[in-house]
Structure 1
Amino acid sequence: MFSSYLIFFSPLLYMVNEALARPQSYAVWAADSAIKRGQGNGLSSAGTPSASYEHGELQWGLRQLYERTGNKTYYDYIVTGASRIVTDAGVVQGGYKLADYSLDPVRTGPTFLYLYSQTQQTKWKTAATTYRNQLNGQPRTGEGQFWHKLRYFNQGWLDGIYMGDVFYAQYTKDFQPTNTTAWDDIAMQYTLIYKNTLQAAGAPNNIGLLYHGYDYSHTAVWASTDRGHSPEIWDRALGWYTMALVDVLEIFPTTNSGYKSILSILQALAPKIRDAADPTTGVWWLVMTQPGRAKNYFESSGSAMFVYSLLKGVRLGYIKDTDGSIVKAAKKAYNYMVANWVITNTDGTMNWINTVEVGSLSGNGTYDYYVSVGTVLNDLKGLAAFLLASLEYERL
């Protein structure tokens, strides 16, 4: 009889233990878990310095968490990670090569600017200026869009806006605030990618959102005949772009006409992102243009990015949510995320699941390509996005 009593109540005991294991702040839990695993610490998995955009994304979240909590652990972790890729002379190492003209490493630039603002150490400004000088020579399409990388001929990707243009804006604000040419150029990066990747009204599977990228030269195997855009809407690419929208609006001068252009894009996309969520779970499909299709699945990094962007946009007044439906949708998605994608470990850390490893336009850009890429446990692109989403959710 005693053993039956234990068996009967063991599920309840498990649920109690599970609840106790989860701290009040998922933002803190995500950050502490990443730090305990040594993620985003300026080193690659092989232990060599790495100028990684994933690290830059995490550092963006750690910076906000430090500002919210005052816990210097987060600030010190940023300093340690950034110091591994910037020498005392301000040289950017960690695999960075100017000749690649890749926008990806530039995502670590906001960290350099932040550390310069905190310390006034010249090395951080020198390192940031290295990236700013890269943008001066970055290859462009005939309209002026930055190529994502030199090896992607004439291609603009949504990802690249997050990687390069938030830094571009912060550098301009910090050191060249009256440089209207730079501000106009930044706004143009946002508007060109929007114009060239927005689904046309009569497009198949039209949800009014943005394709992953476009090829201005129309030479890529995936380029459409009209604007050269890729064939599918990949959730994380759109997630990078929406985060870049809400982040840059905090930096961009409101007196510049480009501010209204960027704001109008965010306001146009927000309700369409809300409406594209799965009605049952509230989260978003990996390939958003093909909901429910075989092999498609709910993907965690893009979903977290949308929650962050929608909640931050409403909080700062960029997105008008008169009926509360956007916040309601973001909360529903967030609750699904913590219930399904956050896993408690016995050492007190959390795992994050269902983040797709990569998405690229280096191949054919088809549906079959996107769904063929595997997911990675604790992939930092997703875990950092969850940290950011949690910061916004906890501000509600």
Structure 2
Amino acid sequence: MARVTALIVSFLLAAATGASARPSSYAVWAADSAIKRGQGNGLDSTGKASVSYEHGELQWGLRLLYEKTGNKTYYNYIVTGANNIVYDNGTVHGGYTLTDFSLDPIRTGPTFLYLYQQTKQTKWKTAADTYRKQLDGHPRTTEGQFWHKLRYFNQGWLDGIYMGDIFYAQYTKDFQVTNTSAWVDITSQFNLIYKNTLQASGSSNYTGLLYHGYDFSHTAVWASSDRGHSPEIWDRALGWYAMALVDVLDIIPSSNTGHSTIINILRTLAPRIRDAADPNTGVWWLVMTQPGRAKNYFESSGSAMFVYSLLKGVRLGYVQDPDGSIVKAAVKAYKYMVSNWVVTNSDGTMGWTNTVEVGSLSGNGTFDYYVSVGTILNDLKGLSAFLLASIEYENL
């Protein structure tokens, strides 16, 4: 154990080497930089109200940072962002339409629940009730999986678990803790996507990880003949799911059978995520089923999500790491991230690079599609994930 501890300490010191001129907390730097740029505040680039899952992801990180530091700047920014998309009567606006039946907007739901816990203002409960009502009528496969969006017929995506089911679980805990059927349903969402997207042993470029999504009807152009899964493992989709696993375990009561079901999925995937990292850099390829292929590259949002999930999982005992190899892998990846993807701007803010703009199964889901999508500087999906990863890294 002493050897493992010494090894981890050496990696922590190495991660700091060459970065002494930077702020001592990358989590604080990332958050302050996003706030200074006006990112994640419930408005789009034109200043119009916009319900955005990216904003929900940032607000989750700001909440954790507020709880850690006590700096009310972060709490106030969350309030401002939520107020920009919720009227005083609790109506959610900013482009949200219930009948679109998209899971993406629901990622802002945990913010509403958090603010209701903090303030007891009715508007936040009303806003949360709107999302819960959507889930009641949300289209599903015949097995019970939520469709990612109404327009994606019979498709479950890994992304959707992070977008919809953390809210679903927190709402149930806050208002319906004895609702057994809801807990069963939440567990089923995690389990169905796992069962239908798990890469089968013997597959080419085997990782034992999860494909981006599946089409239960097998009608999508990319649907496989067996379970209808998509052809590639995309790092950020898997990152969303990994974060959802470690976050929902904080919410589901440990006495609930769903807790053990989800922890078993996490314990299966965590060492496989560790093993899928590039052995030289320690980070992860955009298309994880095609490591080293021309045009593939190391992608920053998925890598940060994995670091957050692995470190949090080990810290809370959800992931077993008797030899320290999982923490060692996460620390190595974090060292690469701060050395290669963090940029010091002239105004003192932090820049974040190498986050792919989007990944969708609306097309053919091929390798060529994923690598054709451009990367975005300071993309909030990646910057927020780095904030989360930094909080866990600094907890070490």
> What TM-score bracket applies, with the shorter chain setting the length?
over 0.9
Partner in structure 2 of residue 12 of structure 1: none
Partner in structure 1 of residue 129 of structure 2: 129
**Partners of 2:299 and 2:252 in 1: CA distance:** 31
**Partners of 2:389 and 2:132 in 1: CA distance:** 29
Unpaired stretches in structure 1, ≥5 consecutive residues:
1-17
**Partners of 2:185 and 2:63 in 1: CA distance:** 27
SS in 2 for 1:192: helix
**Partners of 1:181 and 1:26 in 2: CA distance:** 41
**Partners of 2:320 and 2:274 in 1: CA distance:** 13
SS in 2 for 1:343: strand
1:139 deviation in Å?
0.2
TM-superposition CA deviations, 1:118-155 (whole Å, max 9, x none): 00000000000100000000000010000000000000
SS in 2 for 1:145: coil
Indicate how the Cα distance of structure 1 residues 340 and 121 shifts in structure 2: closer, same or farther if over 3 A, else same: same
**Partners of 1:334 and 1:124 in 2: CA distance:** 36
Partner in structure 2 of residue 348 of structure 1: 348
Matched, 1:90 2:90: yes
Q: Tell me which amino acid in the other structure corresponds to 2:320.
A: K
TM alignment of 1:232-311, pairs within 5 A: 232-311=232-311
Q: Tell me which amino acid in the other structure corresponds to 2:120.
A: Q
Partners of 1:231 and 1:365 within 8 A in 2 = yes
1:256 deviation in Å?
1.4
Q: Tell me which amino acid in the other structure corresponds to 2:383.
A: L
**Partners of 1:379 and 1:47 in 2: CA distance:** 17
Partner in structure 1 of residue 202 of structure 2: 202
Partner in structure 2 of residue 213 of structure 1: 213
Percent identical residues: 81
Q: Tell me which amino acid in the other structure corresponds to 1:358.
A: V
**Partners of 2:33 and 2:177 in 1: CA distance:** 38
**Partners of 1:245 and 1:79 in 2: CA distance:** 26
**Partners of 1:257 and 1:124 in 2: CA distance:** 30
**Partners of 1:130 and 1:21 in 2: CA distance:** 47
TM alignment of 1:103-182, pairs within 5 A: 103-182=103-182
Q: Tell me which amino acid in the other structure corresponds to 2:220.
A: A
1:253 deviation in Å?
1.2
Matched, 1:372 2:340: no
Q: Tell me which amino acid in the other structure corresponds to 1:84.
A: N
Partners of 1:43 and 1:81 within 8 A in 2 = yes
TM-superposition CA deviations, 1:3-54 (whole Å, max 9, x none): xxxxxxxxxxxxxxx8454100000000000000000000011110011000
**Partners of 2:115 and 2:184 in 1: CA distance:** 26
**Partners of 1:270 and 1:301 in 2: CA distance:** 17
**Partners of 1:46 and 1:272 in 2: CA distance:** 42
SS in 1 for 2:285: coil
SS in 2 for 1:156: strand
Q: Tell me which amino acid in the other structure corresponds to 2:61.
A: G
**Partners of 2:203 and 2:89 in 1: CA distance:** 52
**Partners of 1:42 and 1:58 in 2: CA distance:** 11
1:346 deviation in Å?
1.0
SS in 2 for 1:186: helix
1:255 deviation in Å?
1.5
SS in 1 for 2:199: coil
Partner in structure 2 of residue 336 of structure 1: 336
TM alignment of 1:30-41, pairs within 5 A: 30-41=30-41
Partner in structure 2 of residue 56 of structure 1: 56
**Partners of 1:19 and 1:182 in 2: CA distance:** 47
TM-superposition CA deviations, 1:184-243 (whole Å, max 9, x none): 000000000000000011212111000000000000000000000000000000000000
Partner in structure 1 of residue 358 of structure 2: 358
**Partners of 2:370 and 2:52 in 1: CA distance:** 22
**Partners of 2:325 and 2:267 in 1: CA distance:** 14
**Partners of 1:300 and 1:20 in 2: CA distance:** 22
Normalised by the length of structure 1, the TM-score is 0.95
Partner in structure 2 of residue 224 of structure 1: 224
**Partners of 2:107 and 2:256 in 1: CA distance:** 24
Matched, 1:184 2:184: yes
Partners of 1:21 and 1:348 within 8 A in 2 = no
**Partners of 1:374 and 1:139 in 2: CA distance:** 32
SS in 1 for 2:45: coil
Partners of 1:276 and 1:284 within 8 A in 2 = yes
TM-superposition CA deviations, 1:329-373 (whole Å, max 9, x none): 000000000000000011110100000000000000000000000
1:389 deviation in Å?
0.1
SS in 2 for 1:152: coil
Partner in structure 2 of residue 45 of structure 1: 45
**Partners of 2:318 and 2:271 in 1: CA distance:** 12
**Partners of 2:194 and 2:354 in 1: CA distance:** 28
TM-superposition CA deviations, 1:303-329 (whole Å, max 9, x none): 000000000000000000000000000
Partners of 1:21 and 1:344 within 8 A in 2 = no
1:76 deviation in Å?
0.2
Unpaired stretches in structure 2, ≥5 consecutive residues:
1-17
Higher relative contact order (CA 8 A, sep 6+): 2
Tell me the matched-pair count: 379
